[in-house]
Structures are given as C-alpha cells and as structure tokens.
C-alpha cells in the first residue's frame, strides 16, 4: 500500500517547496529597483511549481 495520502507526501512537491523557500531567500537579497519586475516574476514562477504539482495530483485522484 502506498504511503502517499496527499500531494504534500510527494518527493517532487517537497523539493519544489524547498526551491520555493530558496527563491524567497534569494529575492530578499535583491536591490529595491528589482522588486517590481524580476522579483514578481520569480515569486510567481516558484509558486507555480508547487501549485501545478498539487493540481496534477488531484486531477484524477479522488
């Protein structure tokens, strides 16, 4: 029987979460003039990874 009960148990989701946290820490080191273009895009992209994994897990899993 599988030990995976939700998308949070998936190894790829856990790695994506680590990446998301790493991106967040990196963003905090950027200068102020980058906060509106590059930072916004990087934040949305890093969130997209975990969101897409969760969505894909739930797509045909009831």
Tens-place pLDDT, residues 10-25:
999 999 999 999 999 9
Q: Is 16 exposed, middle or buried (0-12, 13-18, 19+ CB in 10 A)?
A: buried
Please tell me the predicted confidence (pLDDT) of residue 1: 45
Domain boundaries, given as residue ranges, for the chain: 30-57
Do 18 and 3 meet the contact criterion of CB atoms below 8 Å apart? no
* Model pLDDT, residue 44: 94
Rounded to an integer, what distance in angstroms lies between the CA atom of residue 9 and that of residue 14? Answer: 7
pLDDT tens profile 1-59: 478 888 899 999 999 999 999 999 999 999 888 878 899 899 999 999 999 999 988 87
Angle at 21 (CA atoms; ends 12, 38), nearest 5 degrees: 110
């Amino acid at each position: 029987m599988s030990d995976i009960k939700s998308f949070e148990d998936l190894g790829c989701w856990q790695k994506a979460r680590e990446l998301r946290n790493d991106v967040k820490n990196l963003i905090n080191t950027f200068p102020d003039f980058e906060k509106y273009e590059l930072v916004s895009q990087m934040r949305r992209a890093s969130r997209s990874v975990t969101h897409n994994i969760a969505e894909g897990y739930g797509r045909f899993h009831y």
